[in-house]
Amino acid sequence: MAEQILEGSQPVDLSKHPSGIVPTLQNIVSTVNLDCKLDLKAIALQARNAEYNPKRFAAVIMRIREPKTTALIFASGKMVSILFFYARIIQKLGFPAKFKDFKIQNIVGSCDAKFPIRLEGLSYSHGAFCSYEPELFPGLIYRMKQPKIVLLIFVSGKIVITGAKVSFAMAFSIPPSFQVRDETYTAFENIYPVLTEFRKNQQCRSSSPVGVNDKEYVEVQTFGACFS
């Protein structure tokens, strides 16, 4: 039996996560064409958990509590979401919705290495894979070749992982399929030994603009696709 440690209140299987850290999937966004025109007012009136204010936004915002997800539904039949449940809801409301041109647009994971990182040194030693321009963006962008993943690494030790690829079938597994998570997990385990080489002394941490970087970190958990 693999040794386990606790990260927070959850056990961690060290055979799968040697670092003892398990990245969390934060956001999965996809687009699909329902191949029919939609009456957004009718949808908002008939569907539960649906909001429509055309003066503010030209789409119905529909939410499902379990699993907790949100969809943006446009009159053209275009939809931004992750689950086919929303297409089924539209069908039940009387629209001939299909499921065409499904595409995963972005998958974002995140984790904390739990120590500050010397981004300048990392950028210098791994220049072939890194982009680091702190005057433009406080995170280091690391483009991993295998798996083909982009990691946004912050001086605080916070990391955003984006770019995992999935198939149609994987996208509809609840929870997200093992392959989706494995790409994200593998990318972090690959980069973790590198990060330890550029670990900052703890006494240096207070001199780093950690608060600013953490704010950026929270924002790119949603907009990680910009870097992939």
Question: CATH second-level architecture of 4-28+105-227?
Answer: 2-Layer Sandwich (3.30)
Looking at the chain, the domain(s) classified CATH 3.30.310.10 span 4-28+105-227, 35-98
Residue 47: what are its φ and ψ, rounded to 5°?
-90, 145
pLDDT per residue as tens digits for the range 11-26? 877 878 888 888 887 7
Domain 35-98, CATH homologous superfamily name and number: TATA-Binding Protein (3.30.310.10)
Is a pLDDT exceeding 60 seen at residue 203?
A: no
Task: Tally helices (H) and strands (E) across the chain.
Answer: 6, 12
Is a pLDDT exceeding 90 seen at residue 215?
A: no
pLDDT of the residue at 214? 53
d(CA 29, CA 186): 21
pLDDT per residue as tens digits for the range 116-156? 999 999 999 999 999 999 998 889 999 999 888 999 999 99
Question: Per the confidence metrics, is the pTM higher than 0.75?
Answer: no
CB count within 10 Å of CB 190 equals: 15
Is a pLDDT exceeding 80 seen at residue 170?
A: no
What is the torsional sign of CA 64, 151, 146, 3? negative
